[in-house]
Structure formats: C-alpha cells, structure tokens
Amino acid sequence: MPDIMSKAKRSALMARIRSTNTTPEARVFRALRRRRVYFARHVRALPGSPDVVFRNGKVAVFLDGDFWHGWRFGRWEIKLQPFWREKIANNRARDASNFGKLRRQGWKVLRIWEHELERDLARQVERICKAVAARRRRG
C-alpha cells in the first residue's frame, strides 16, 4: 500500500518525533528528582546513549517506546510495510548490541517500556532506585 502522504509531508511529520526529552522521559526525570536521586541524561559516551545513567552504581536505563523499539514485535510485525518492519528490526538489533556492550563493560542495564511507565510510573521509578541501591551496596 503506498503512503497516503507526500514525501515532504511525511518528512515534516517524522521530523517532529523527538528522540530525547520525550514526555515519558520527562516524567521519569521529575519523579527521580523528587526523590533527590542524582543522575545523568543521555550519556553519549556510552553505547546506545542511555536515557538515565547512574555512574556510581554503573546502572544504565533505557526508556523505550513500544512501537519504535518493537515491544512484542513478533505479534504485529506482519502488519507493517517492509520499510517499517526492517526499521524496527534494525532498532531491536541495535538495542541488543548496545545492551551487550554495556553489560560487558560491567553496567547493569534496565529497559523500561513506554506502557510500563503509563501503567505504573511509581513502580518503575522504584525499580530503578532499587537497582541503583543494590549496585552501590555491591561495590
């Protein structure tokens, strides 16, 4: 099925999609700050530029959108045009590679999906804090 938008219109629409400082990220950042938890954002020196980084405990957190990072991709990939199927498959492969690189460097990697944040933000923030505390106790 051909795209219903012109290339220029589709390009303008896609350019509006943010990759950093998204609404879910802002909610997590605010919740962590309220708890007086200190963190770095979007650390480009690390593989995948994790959204939230705790250098002391070596914890990297990725806040991933369900569509762009392919949550349960196998269930709905068949519905996509080949371009999007390939794009999301490549995103998933890149994510797996980045997570592996971080783990080999001694980082604890947490992936929090968009729907998990929407369902229970407090629970996900607690999950992050527990992981950081456990890593700091460890050494």
Ranges of each domain in the chain: 19-138
What is the side-by-side order of every strand in the sheet holding 40-41? Answer: 40-41, 52-54, 59-64, 108-113
pLDDT, average across residues 53-65? 96
pLDDT for residue 139: 65
pLDDT band at 63 (very low <50, low <70, confident <90, very high): very high
Residue 26 confidence (pLDDT): 94
Quick one: CA torsion of 100, 30, 22, 41, rounded to 10 degrees? -40
pLDDT digits (tens, 9 = 90+) for 6-58: 777 756 655 556 566 788 899 999 999 999 999 999 999 999 999 999 999 99
Helix (H, G, I), strand (E, B) or coil at 59: strand
138 or 12, which is more confident: 138
Q: Which residues of 54-81 are buried (b: 16+ CB within 10 A; e: fewer)?
A: beebbbbbbbbbeeebbbebeeeeeeee
pTM, entire model = 0.86
- Averaged over 73-80, what is the pLDDT? 92
Half-sphere exposure of 16 (CA within 13 A, CB side): 5
Fold of 19-138: Endonuclease; Chain A (3.40.960)
